[in-house]
Amino acid sequence: MTIRIAMWSGPRNISTAMMRSWENRPDCSVVDEPFYAYYLQTTQHPHPMFNEVLASQSINYDEVAKNLSKGPCNSPIQYQKHMTQHMLENCDLSWTKDIRHCMLIRDPAYVVNSYTNSRGKCSAEDIGIKRQFELYEAISELTGQNIPIIDSATVLNNSHKMIPAMCAALEITCEEEVKDAMLNWPLGPRDSDGVWAEHWYHSVEKSTGFGEAKKQSFALTPAQMKVVDEVMPYYEQMKSKALTIK
């Protein structure tokens, strides 16, 4: 029976690098943002490659959810990369019951700065941090799981310890060979990447592993700081519960 793992993240995190890490395990296949087309069709947000995304995936929420929870999978582990903002309010989360969940978080100031640099604007809804906290609470209650929370900065600064710790928290084996595979992946794109990779994945396509977190110096505008202030309480609540390593 396939073990299905849902990793929940907002954008401009290390979510694609994390997907690379899991896909490089010999026992794991990946699914890239399966609800993206549903989200765009429902909200009509003018994202890059809007039409291409809609053409590449099902826009039917129930169909996608059923496939993620019950659909065929030929690998022992299936890793699902999810964007929290894609899960609109009042979505039926019953499909999450038989899946193991994990939350990937990042300091909102860095997220807002990076997202604005990519799209030219940024709202609290765009970055999904409040929604991530809501999903964390809802899925925890629904599944009874003690859902691990992973801080991306900790992964980048200490990946050789955090990756095995994450696997242990998810009750997934991580022998030395598997750990090495999760820390080092081949350069370039993947067939499993969403069609939107052409716009968003330039950096990760040049990567072969987790790089150290870079100390960035940037100034946020008042409008950007308003977004940071709005979502910071939700991030801080999750960070207080984040997985730590010795």
Give 220: exposed, middle or buried? Use CB within 10 Å, 0-12, 13-18, 19+: middle
Inform me whether the pLDDT recorded for 76 exceeds 90: yes
For residues 59 and 115, the model is more confident at 59
- The average pLDDT across 195-203 equals 91
Note the pLDDT of residue 246.
78
Query: What's the confidence (pLDDT) of residue 217?
Result: 75
In sequence order, the 6+-apart residues with CB closer than 8 A to the CB of 28 are 22, 75, 76, 77, 78, 79
CATH number for the domain whose boundaries are 3-239: 3.40.50.300
pLDDT, average across residues 29-56: 96
| pLDDT band of 126, cuts 50, 70, 90 | confident
pLDDT band at 213 (very low <50, low <70, confident <90, very high): low
pLDDT-derived band at 218 (thresholds 50, 70, 90) equals confident
% residues pLDDT > 90 (the chain): 82
* pLDDT, average across residues 6-19: 94
Confidence check: pLDDT of 121 > 90: no
For range 146-167, the mean pLDDT: 96
Which of 97-133 are b and which e, b meaning 16 or more Cβ less than 10 Å from the residue's Cβ? eebbbbbbbbbbbbbbbbbbeeeeebebbbbbbbbbb
Q: How far apart are CA 162 and CA 146, in angstroms?
A: 17
